[in-house]
Amino acid sequence: MQQDWSERFAQRAQRMTSSAIRELLKVTEQPDVISFAGGLPAPEAFPIGEVAEAAQRILRDQGACALQYGATDGYRPLRGWVAETLRATGVPVSAEHVLITTGSQQALDLLGKVFLDPGDRVVVEAPTYLAALQAWNAYGASYLEVPADDDGMRTSALKPLLRQAPKFVYCLPNFQNPSGVTLSRARRERLVALATEHRAVVIEDDPYRDLRFEGEDLPRLIELASADSGAPGSEYDGSVIYACTFSKVISPGLRVGAVVAPFEVIHKLTQAKQSADLHTAMLNQMLVYELVQSGLLQRHVAVIVDMYRARRDVMLDAMARSFPARVRWTHPAGGLFLWVTLPAGVDAAALLPTAVAAGVAFVPGGPFHPSGAPVNTLRLNFSNASHEQIREGIARLGGILGASLSEPERLAVPAAAR
Ligand code: PGU
């Protein structure tokens, strides 16, 4: 007898949805599609030779350890390196405050697992990273959205939301995914002050920090929270939980990220990780440590920052040439993405099949909002295509936008779906 599987799934599983980015990866793997969809680093920049040499050194010098089971909280030298990076900016953390995760995506999932009961509120920027929503939807989160502008989250709108006792506030301060905007220094200070006043927890997700094309680094929220709290010499006990990753600066395929938090939170996250995957791949953790230790990280970041800045410039220039006048977009100072706003009432998802048929892909903006709306936005990635592909892809997209905006009734969102 055939099972009715959907009936058997737990309520948690019924709340699960697919990532629009992951789904699109299948389409964009077709060689003739120019993809501005996934947040993929430039493959031609991957440090393949250095990774091969580091792998040989590790296997020669550490042999069996690299192939053995390891501790759940991670490879200790790598935990120490992450702690040292933050300590250098005044955050009083040691290796025990760091949990190595299988990409920072796992950190988001584990945070949901340990903090969220069904119905719990989470404050998110509008728009926000769709796979964080995907992770927390499974745990039954409900969302409070804070509007954002070119300076990031509008902290002036935060107070009434904090009064509703959210479990945490999720913030991407640098070159936000999907919008590309950066939270201003004044708003960082305001956010941390408000969080302290309301005893709110902040999750700072920071994969793009090192990919700054211009301007000065701004303090991390966890730095500001450290400056505010604790006697000199005391250990970190602030309310900001910091997630970072080596995906965008070395390789996403290695799946190595980290989360930094007070001891009690790390302890609970470690229990949650034990049942998820025992530990992150040892060889990959050792590889990452070897590469950051050898100075490869700094050298490589300098190369890809120059490369991505040039690609951003080509994309902005091409958009200015070929996008219709009523279309708006952000001008990111770093990261991998920019965010396009179409006239109200145009559904970007409805344009996607036409775009893919014309050989160009983007991520429609709806899924970056908990409610799936507004839908007149889209995300473009500029790190994964050559200058020629960017010019060609943007020209194709410009043509499609031009045609669709001149016949709005065809693509208008039906009133019921708005
Ligand atoms: N947090 C943010 C803000 C991200 O943008 C991403 C990746 C992650 C966490 C997770 O990255 P890890 O590799 O797990 O460290 N964002 C990519 C995901 C791409 C994909 O293939 O799903 C993106 O395109 O938005």
Ligand 1 atom with the smallest distance to the CA of 108 is 9
Q: What is the CA radius of gyration of the chain?
A: 22
DSSP state, 239?
A: S
Instruction: Report how far residue 27's alpha carbon sits from residue 32's, in angstroms, rounded to the nearest whole number.
Output: 10
Instruction: Report the distance separating Cα 74 and Cα 110, nearest Å.
Output: 15
Of 37, 126, 89, the closest CA to residue 218 belongs to: 89
Binding pocket residue ranges, ligand 1, CB within 6 Å: 19, 21-22, 25, 38-39, 103-105, 129, 172, 177, 205, 207, 245, 247, 252, 257
Residue-wise pLDDT for 285-311, tens only, equals 999 999 999 999 999 999 999 999 999
Q: What's CA 339's distance to the chain center, in Å?
A: 14
| Tokens read off for 118 | 């069904």
Atom of ligand 1 nearest to the CA of 105: 14
Task: Tokens for 12, please give them.
Answer: 């948690």
Residue 417 has pLDDT above 80, yes or no: no
64 by Cβ neighbours in 10 Å (0-12 / 13-18 / 19+) ranks as exposed
Helices (H) and strands (E) in the chain, counts: 17, 14
- pTM for the whole thing? 0.95
At 251, list the tokens.
Answer: 């390789």
Local structure of 315: helix, strand or coil:
helix
Report the C-alpha gap between 283 and 2 in whole angstroms. Answer: 42
Distance 208 CA to ligand 1 centre (A): 10
User: For residue 268, what are the contacts with CB-CB under 8 A and spacing of at least 6?
Assistant: 114
Determine the average pLDDT of the residues in 370-381: 96
Q: What is the rounded average pLDDT of the residues 373-396?
A: 97
Q: pLDDT tens digits for 35-51?
A: 999 999 999 999 999 99
Tokens at residue 193, please? 């002050």
CA of 61 to the centre of ligand 1 (A): 32
User: Residue 28 has what pLDDT?
Assistant: 75
Segment 351-356 shows an average pLDDT of: 95
| Torsion from C-alpha of 265, 271, 272, 273, nearest 10 degrees | 110
How much distance in Å is there from the Cα of 376 to the middle of ligand 1? 22
CA–CA distance, 71 with 209 (Å, rounded to integer): 28
